[in-house]
Amino acid sequence: MKNRAQARWREKNPQAVWAHRALRSAVKLGIVKQQPCEVCGDPASEAHHPDYDRPAAVRWLCRRHHKAAHKKPKRARST
Ligand SMILES: [Zn+2]
Ligand SMILES: [Zn+2]
C-alpha cells in the first residue's frame, strides 16, 4: 500500500525524484555533506528540498522536523 502510494507520487513528481537522485550522488561525491537536523541537531537527518529546481540546496532535518516542515506551519504550537 505504501509502496504503491510512493510509486504514484513518483509518477506525479518526476522532478522531485530527480532532485533526490541528484542529491544522493552529490552526497556520494562529497559535493554536499549531510548535516545534523538544523532544528534539534539529530544526526539521523533527511534532506528536505525547499526547491526541487536546486537539488543541492537542501535543508537537513530529522524525520520529525522533516515531517513538520511539510505540514503547513499554521499555529504549530502543540508542545
Ligand atoms: Zn530535528
Ligand atoms: Zn522534505
CA of 29 to the centre of ligand 1 (A): 25
Is the backbone of residue 55 left (phi > 0), alpha (psi -120 to 50) or beta? alpha
- What do you get for the CA distance between the two ends of the chain, in Å? 32
- Residue 25 forms part of a structural domain: yes
- Residue 77 forms part of a structural domain: no
Residues 26-54 have pLDDT tens digits of 999 999 999 999 999 999 999 999 999 99
Check pLDDT > 60 for residue 79: no
- Of 62, 4, 69, the C-alpha closest to 34 is 62
Total number of domains in the chain: 1
Is the backbone of residue 45 left (phi > 0), alpha (psi -120 to 50) or beta? beta
Q: What is the pLDDT of residue 12?
A: 95
- Residue 26 forms part of a structural domain: yes
- The answer to whether residues 38 and 61 touch, using CB atoms and an 8 Å cutoff, is yes
Domain extent, residue 56, equals: 2-70
Residues 13-30 have pLDDT tens digits of 999 999 999 999 999 999
Q: Which pTM was predicted?
A: 0.75
CA of 52 to the centre of ligand 2 (A): 10
CA of 72 to the centre of ligand 2 (A): 12
- Residue 36 forms part of a structural domain: yes
